[in-house]
Each structure stands twice: as structure tokens, then as C-alpha cells.
Amino acid sequence: MTAPGLYGHRKLHDDLLEQGESICLNRVARLTRLAGIKAQIGYKRWPGKYGEKPSVVVDNTLGRQFDVAVPDKVWVTDITYIRTQEGFAYLAVVIDLFSRRVVGWTIQSRQTTDVVLQALLMATWRKKPKAKVLIHSDQGSQFTSMDWASFLRIHNLEHSMSRRGNCHDNAVRRAFSIY
């Protein structure tokens, strides 16, 4: 049988028929209503509330200046997910805003700080920037972690964050858009 609170009367009726019971759908509906059993449909989400304020917020140094004149001056990074047969795979990408090319990437089965650090490590290893590079990201927990801040400090990278909840300020999406 199923866990309480997940199935409604329709699925319970189907399960009972599958087990060889002969019962009317209306009877199952009445009995589940009397027992207080309801289908759990999704989860409640309060509109306009997106969690607490992140622990570390960095200024938006990039300021929507997506046109860059020299390479290895501004990189943008973000994470996306890919649905696979075995679950989700999380892809972290680092893009150079000058060339609009991917300079670092990694894919892992969990969305941790390590996935973004590995992508940024690949970018710094491949490009070996001579001057300070501005790294622009969103305010996700991976980009506000102490490991991320430490990596940026060690590799002479400057952090910039987009404003919270503003999809138009997504630098990676804007990197691939046509002007």
C-alpha cells in the first residue's frame, strides 16, 4: 500500500481493483473523505518569498555591461540541470563575455559548490589570465560559499553578483542572446 497523504480516492480505488477487490469508486471516495485522506498535490509555495537573504552579497560590478572589448576580462557563470534517465545532472559553465565561448565547464550529479569550483578551475587552468578577471554570477548558495570566496581570492579573481530575482540580469543568458 502507499504512504498516507499521497494518494487520493482514485488511486486508492485503482490499487484495490488491482488487488482483486470489487468496490465502487464513489464508496472509496466517501470512505477516504470520512477518514480524512486527501491526495497530496505538489507542495505549498508562498508567492513572493524566495528564502532568506544570502549570507554574502557582493556588489553588481558588471552592471549589465555585457559588451566586453578584451578577452579574459569578464567571465560569467551559472548552473543548469539536465534531466537524464538516472535523475538530474547539474552543468556548471563559465563563459568569456568577449568571445561568448565556454572557457570552463563541469557536470556532476549533485548541485554543490564543487560543481562551480571545478568549472572555474578549468577556466583558470585553460586561459591562465594575466590580469584580474571579473567573475559574475547569481546569488545562489554555491556562489556565496566560503570555498567560492576563498578560490576567487587565491586565483586573483573579482566577484560580481546580479540582483536577486531578476531574470533580465542573468549574464549567462545574455551572453548568448543576439543584440
- 119 pLDDT more than 90: yes
86 band by pLDDT with thresholds 50, 70 and 90: confident
Return the domain boundaries, the chain.
1-43, 74-175
With residues binned 3-state (H G I as helix, E B as strand, rest as coil), the percentages for the chain, rounded to 5, are 30, 20, 45
Average pLDDT over residues 108-112: 89
pLDDT confidence band for 172 (50 / 70 / 90): low
pLDDT at 2: 44
pLDDT digits (tens, 9 = 90+) for 35-62: 888 777 665 655 555 555 556 677 777 7
**Looking at per-residue confidence, does 139 or 56 come out higher?**
139
- Of residues 77 and 169, which shows the higher confidence score? 77
Domain 74-175 -> CATH class: alpha beta
Cα gap 148→92, rounded to integer Å: 14
Residue 131 confidence (pLDDT):
87
- 106: pLDDT strictly greater than 90: yes
137 φψ region: left (φ > 0), alpha (ψ -120 to 50), beta (else): beta
Whole-model pTM: value is 0.63
Eight-state DSSP code of residue 4: T
Look at residue 168 in the predicted model and tell me its pLDDT. 57
* Full DSSP string of 98-112: TTTEEEEEEEESS-S
